[in-house]
Copies of this chain bind each other. A is one copy, B any other.
């Protein structure tokens, strides 16, 4: 169940090597209207486009959710699988369980007028990530065949803002 590399067949392969006189940083936001929760929205093509237009050839792209109840996850875009994962999130932190965060009679912090009971969404976020950092190779995301980038809405239909922040060397 656990091995060290000395016993494992491993091979190294050159992928890229570049030095540039200038560092380029490019940040763009994606504004997305979600419609349900949990909802997996495949944003790979948009991220790819932002990377391609950034002019960065080699470096890395961080896809960052600016929200505490919406996450970024890389996995496969297969509809039945997305339902499996939604079900698992629900099992671990059900919508109707008891959350102190939902008890507005006790809460004194960060309460605004339209406050919704979303303790489950914050708790589901515990298992997911706020961001993913992806290599940029030759102006493209260096992802595998089945990998897709998802915005995961955990709360409800909302407007979400995702940052795509690219750091690297241009052309």
* Interface positions of A (Cβ within 8 A of B): 1-5, 8-36, 38-43, 45-46, 50, 58-60, 62, 64-68, 73-86, 88-89, 92-93, 99-101, 103, 106-107, 109-110, 119, 122-123, 125-135, 137, 142-144, 146-147, 161, 163, 165, 167-170
Contacts and interface: CB of A to CB of B under 8 A. Distances in A.
B130 A64 contact: no
A68 B74 contact: yes
Contact of A38 (B1, B19, B144): B1
Given A32-B10, A67-B144, A62 B135 contact: yes
A74 B68 CA distance: 7
Given A46-B12, A144-B67, A167-B168, A73 B2 contact: no
